[in-house]
Amino acid sequence: MKKILVIGANGQIGTELTTALVKLHGAKQVVASDIQALGRHQELAYEKLDVTDAKRLAEVVQQHDIGEIYHLAAALSAKGEEHPEWAWNLNMTGLLNVLEVARQAKLSKVFWPSSIAAFGPSTPRDNAPQVGAMDPKTVYGISKLAGEHWCSWYAEKYGMDIRSLRYPGLISYSAEPGGGTTDYAIQALFAAAAGHDYTSFLDVDSTLPMMYMPDAVRATIELMSAPKEQLKAAGSYNLAAWSFSPRELVDIIQQRYPSFKVAYQPDFRQAIADAWPRSIDDSQARQDWSWSPAYSLTDMVDDMLLHLVKRKPVTQERAA
């Protein structure tokens, strides 16, 4: 049986997805990789890998007899606006390298994540459709929309099995936030669990689609496990759980921590959030492969706080 390569295994998604893949397939079948010298998953084969290095990527695929790739390495929205050329190179060169290596090595499947950042001001703010106007205004969003088209092109031209999800904002306790516009939610939960107040970089009523990481991981595995003939969406599937604003999240946290206080100082990320939908229509995913989230918003808050209070206390600066 050929092995699975996770690129970006040390990141926010990669940390938990790699663990889930090991539980499903066994440690011997999963190879972790990231740009750092050391991996988070000590029981696994690990390769230091810069995905923009096509030659090195091809060597890793051949060396480990890889059959599937989960390509998660990316520059996110906020960091991408601060370092646009770096973000574009990482996001686009990395994806094209993965697609080309997968084509040449005849890999069975590739997973690549898109994002709600691929939407833009022309997209309906409520129930953003599976197919509709998409005019992203960030380097991250532009790269995700371009990536969706590249994945579709490779699938149509070469018959490759490439699967993708438009993730909403993802909330996780296993890894620090990676520079996204929805990171305020994670930072607020980290701060509350550590006994600190918090200053939000988004305004009080900025509603955005969000999801708890265990649901995102499960959705990814379910999509990759679904029979190809069931998957009708071209490109990337919309994915949703619930939407909330900073005010709504803080209200729930304060029911658990009444002394928790939040101030609001919107920065450049506010304009990014304002261009994104408030909610997502994921009916195509629910129809094609029976997607349904397991966690409610309050379930997520309770589970996050339960895990965070067990961690070594962190300062607000570290959480940010």
Overall domain count for the chain: 2
Residues 181 and 107 in one domain: no
Q: Is residue 232 part of a domain?
A: no
pLDDT value of position 299: 98
Percent of the chain with pLDDT over 90: 91
Confidence of residue 311 (pLDDT cuts 50, 70, 90): confident
Q: Do residues 42 and 126 share a domain?
A: yes
- What amino acid positions are annotated as catalytic residues? 140
95 and 187 assigned to the same domain: no
Same domain, 112 and 189: no
Question: Which of 112, 138, 167 delimits the end of a domain?
Answer: 167
Label residue 320 by pLDDT band (50, 70, 90): very low
The phi and psi torsions of 39 (rounded to 5 degrees) equal -100, 160
Looking at the structure, tell me whether residues 296 and 150 fall in a common domain. no
18 and 151 fall within a common domain = yes
Beta-ladder partners of 165: 237
In a domain, 130, yes or no: yes
Looking at residue 314, what is its pLDDT?
A: 41
pLDDT band at 125 (very low <50, low <70, confident <90, very high): very high
pLDDT in the model for residue 287: 97
pLDDT at 230 over 80: yes
Beta-bridge partner residues of 34:
48
Q: What CATH number does the domain containing 309 carry?
A: 3.40.50.720
Element (H, E) at 34: strand 30-34
SS3 319: helix
End-to-end Cα distance, the chain: 41
Domain assignment present for residue 268? The answer is yes
pLDDT digits (tens, 9 = 90+) for 156-184: 999 999 999 999 999 999 877 777 899 99
Residue pLDDT, tens place only, 57-93: 999 999 999 999 999 999 888 889 999 999 999 999 9
Instruction: Give 281-301 pLDDT, tens digit per residue.
Output: 999 999 999 999 999 999 999
Indicate whether 215 pLDDT > 90.
yes
In a domain, 220, yes or no: no
The answer as to whether 141 is a domain residue is yes
Residues 6+ apart with CB under 8 A from 114: 144, 145, 147, 148, 164, 165, 166, 167, 235, 236
- 178 and 110 within one domain: no
Asked if 10 and 141 sit in the same domain, the reply is yes
Q: Is the pLDDT of residue 312 over 60?
A: no
The pTM of this model reads: 0.94
Q: Which of 115, 141, 167 is the last residue of a domain?
A: 167
Tokens 């007899």: give the residue: 65
Sign of CA dihedral 94, 157, 13, 20: negative
**Based on the domain organization, do 56 and 205 belong to the same domain?**
no
The residue out of 136, 167, 198 marking a domain boundary is 167
Range of the domain at 291: 170-210+240-319
What confidence tens digit (pLDDT) does each residue in 15-67 have? 999 999 999 999 999 999 999 999 999 999 999 999 999 999 999 999 999 99
Q: Which of 60-69, 181-190, 244-253, 307-316 has the lowest mean pLDDT?
A: 307-316
Residue 319 has pLDDT above 80, yes or no: no
Same domain for 13 and 161, yes or no, is: yes
Do 31 and 138 belong to one domain?
Answer: yes
With respect to residue 135, please indicate whether it lies within any of the assigned structural domains.
Answer: yes
In a domain, 234, yes or no: no
Q: Is the pLDDT of residue 310 over 90?
A: no
Angle in degrees, CA 249, 251, 252, rounded to 5: 70
Residue 304 domain-assigned (yes or no): yes
Same domain, 29 and 112: yes
pLDDT value, residue 315: 39
